[in-house]
Structure 1
Amino acid sequence: MKYLSYFIVAAMLLLVAACSSVPVTGRKQVLLVSDSEVLTLSLQQYDEYIKSAPKSANAKNTALVEKVGRRIANAVETYMNNNGMGDLVANFSWEFNLIKSDEVNAFCMPGGKIVVYEGILPITQDETGLAVVLGHEVAHAVAKHSNERMSQQMLTEYGSQALGMALDKQSAQIQQIGSVAFGLGSQYGVTLPFSRKQELEADELGLIFMSMAGYDPRQAASFWERMSAASGGGVPEFTSTHPSDATRIKKINENLPKALEYYTGK
C-alpha cells in the first residue's frame, strides 16, 4: 500500500511537470511524450505515406498550396519568435503537399507536415478559402495536438496507476500508441482523431494565424458553410467525429473580434 501511495504521488507530480500551455489560447494540456519522439515517429509515418501518395499534376494549384502554407507558417514563426515562444516551432520543418484525390480532406502531422487533397479546392474556391484550411492545419501542429492525443491515449490505455510502467518503456510503447493517435493504421487514416475541443481550438488559432498572414478571417464562416452544403448538411469527412457545422460556425463568429486584432490586411 505504501508503494502504491508513493507511485500515485509520483504519477501526480509527473502529470504536473508535464503540463504545458497552448500558444495564444493559453489552454493547459498534458504532454507526456517528448517532441523529439513525436517528431521521429510522425516523420516515419509521413514519409511512408507521401512516398505512395499520388502528387497533384496541377502545377498552379500545387504552387498555391505551397504559397499559402508558407505565408501562414512564416507569419506564425515570426510571431512566436517575437513573443519568446520561438522554441515551440524551432524544430519544425514545414512541408505542404497537394495530393491527387477527389476526397474533401486535408491533414496535418507533427512538425509541420501538411497535406491537402484536390477535392477540397472547389470548396476553398480561392486563396483566402485555402488559408482557412491551412491555418487550421498549422494550428494543429503548433498546438501539439498529436502529442496531446498520444498522451491521452497513454493515460487511457494504461490508467493512472500504470503510468510509470508506460513511461519506463516509452520508446516501445510510443510506436504502438502513436499509430492509434495519429490515426494512420493500414490506410493511414488521413485525419487525426482530434477531440472536439482540439478541433474548435484549431479553428480559433487558425483564424488568428491566417489573420497574421494577411488573410481576412471574416471569410472563414463562408468556407465552413460551403463545407456543410457540400456534405448535404451532415458532418463532412474533413470534420468526421468533430463539432457540428452549426457549432463550428457559431464559434468562428464569436472568435472573429479576437482574430481581427491580428489581421494585417485591414
Structure 2
Amino acid sequence: MKKTLIALTALTLLGGCQLTKSPTGRTQALMYSNADMSNLGAQSFDEMKKKEKIVTDPRVNNYVGCIANAITASVDNSYGVNEWEVIVFDSPQINAFALPGGHIGVYTGLMNVAKNADQLAAVMGHEVGHVLANHSNERLSRNKFTSMGMQVANGAFDLAGIENKKIYMQGLGLGAQYGVAMPFGRKQESESDKIGLDLMAKAGFKPEASVSLWQAMAKASGGNQPMEFLSTHPSNERRINDLTKNMSAANALYTQAVSAGKRPNCKL
C-alpha cells in the first residue's frame, strides 16, 4: 500500500510538471506557474525590506538603479516583468540576488569588490539570469518532487502560514536568515554566468569586466573557497575559464550595443 501511495504521488507530481527549455536550451521540469513564482518573490522581497537595513543615499541608489535599468532593458516582456524593483541593502556581505517577479537586491559589501559599473553589471546580469532561466522554479519543483510528503502549496504562497517556509526560501536562493544567499547548483550557476554575460554585453557594459570581477571575488575570499566538487558553485578558476570561452560572442554583442549608442553612464 505504501509503495502504491508513493507511486500515485509521483504520478500526480509528474502530471503537474511543465517541460520547457531554459534560455541556453537546457530541458527543465517546472511545477509552478509564473504567477505563483512572482507572488512568492514579491512576498519574500517585502519581508526582506522589513528586516534588512535599506540604503537611502540617492547617489548610491541612482548608481545601482542605472546599472539595473540597463541590464533589464533587454529582458523580453514575455517574462511578465514590466518594472524591476531595485533595493540596496546596507550590509557588508559581498552579494546580490534577483527574485521572480522583478526584484533585485544588492548589498553594499559587493560594491567594495565590484569597483566599477561594468563589474557590478556582471554580478547583476548573473543574478537576473537566474530569474530568466527559472532556476528558483526549477529548484522548488525538484524539492517538491523529492520530498513526497511535503504539503502542496497554494497558489498564493502565504509565507506567514506555510509550514515549510524554509524550503521555499531556499528554493528562491535565500537563507532562513535574510541576507544569506543559498547557492544554486553548479549547472545553474554556470548557466547564469552565460546569460548574465550576454545581458551585460547587450546593455553596453564591457564583458571582460566579468573576468576581472571574479578575480577580485577570488581575492576577497582569501583562498577559502572549497574545492569545486565540494561546492555547489563552480570554482573561481572554472568560472573564469568558462567566461573566457564565451567572451568572443559577448564582445560581438557589446560591439553591436555600442554601435547602437548603448554605453550606460552609470557613476557613483
For residues 164-197 of structure 1, the C-alpha deviation after alignment (integer angstroms, 9 at most, x for no partner) is x96xx34289642413323545412531431111
Relative distance call for 1:4 and 1:136 in structure 2 (3 A) is same
Aligned equivalents of 1:216, 1:209: Cα separation in 2: 11
Aligned equivalents of 2:237, 2:130: Cα separation in 1: 21
Relative distance call for 1:12 and 1:246 in structure 2 (3 A) is same
For residues 25-46 of structure 1, the C-alpha deviation after alignment (integer angstroms, 9 at most, x for no partner) is 1111111111111221221121
Aligned equivalents of 1:108, 1:121: Cα separation in 2: 16
Deviation of 1:234 (Å): 2.8
Give the ranges of 4+ consecutive aligned residues of structure 1 lying more than 4 Å apart after TM superposition. 3-13, 172-175
Aligned equivalents of 1:185, 1:12: Cα separation in 2: 26
For residues 85-105 of structure 1, the C-alpha deviation after alignment (integer angstroms, 9 at most, x for no partner) is x32x12454111111111111
Kept in 1, the 8 Å contact 2:96–2:104? The answer is: yes
Partner of 2:253: 262
Deviation of 1:18 (Å): 1.1
Partner of 1:210: 200
* 5+ residue gaps, structure 2: 260-268
Partner of 2:235: 244
2:224 matches 1:234 = yes
Aligned residue type for 1:102: P
Match runs of 1:9-158 below 5 Å: 10=11, 14=15, 18-23=18-23, 25-76=24-75, 80=76, 86-87=77-78, 89-91=79-81, 93-158=83-148
Deviation of 1:9 (Å): 9.2
Deviation of 1:6 (Å): 8.6
Deviation of 1:56 (Å): 1.8
Relative distance call for 1:146 and 1:65 in structure 2 (3 A) is same
Relative distance call for 1:111 and 1:192 in structure 2 (3 A) is farther
Relative distance call for 1:11 and 1:261 in structure 2 (3 A) is farther
Structure 1 or 2: larger helix share? 1
Aligned residue type for 1:26: G
Partner of 2:266: none
Aligned equivalents of 1:151, 1:8: Cα separation in 2: 14
Aligned residue type for 1:19: L
Kept in 2, the 8 Å contact 1:216–1:265? The answer is: no
Aligned residue type for 1:46: F
* TM-score after normalising by structure 1: 0.81
For residues 92-123 of structure 1, the C-alpha deviation after alignment (integer angstroms, 9 at most, x for no partner) is 54111111111111122112211111111121
For residues 200-223 of structure 1, the C-alpha deviation after alignment (integer angstroms, 9 at most, x for no partner) is 111110000001101111121011
For residues 127-146 of structure 1, the C-alpha deviation after alignment (integer angstroms, 9 at most, x for no partner) is 11111111111111111111
Partner of 1:171: 154
Root-mean-square deviation (CA, aligned residues, Å) is 2.8
Aligned residue type for 1:14: G
Kept in 1, the 8 Å contact 2:36–2:156? The answer is: no
Aligned equivalents of 1:170, 1:216: Cα separation in 2: 42
Aligned residue type for 2:88: L
Aligned equivalents of 1:68, 1:262: Cα separation in 2: 17
Deviation of 1:58 (Å): 3.4
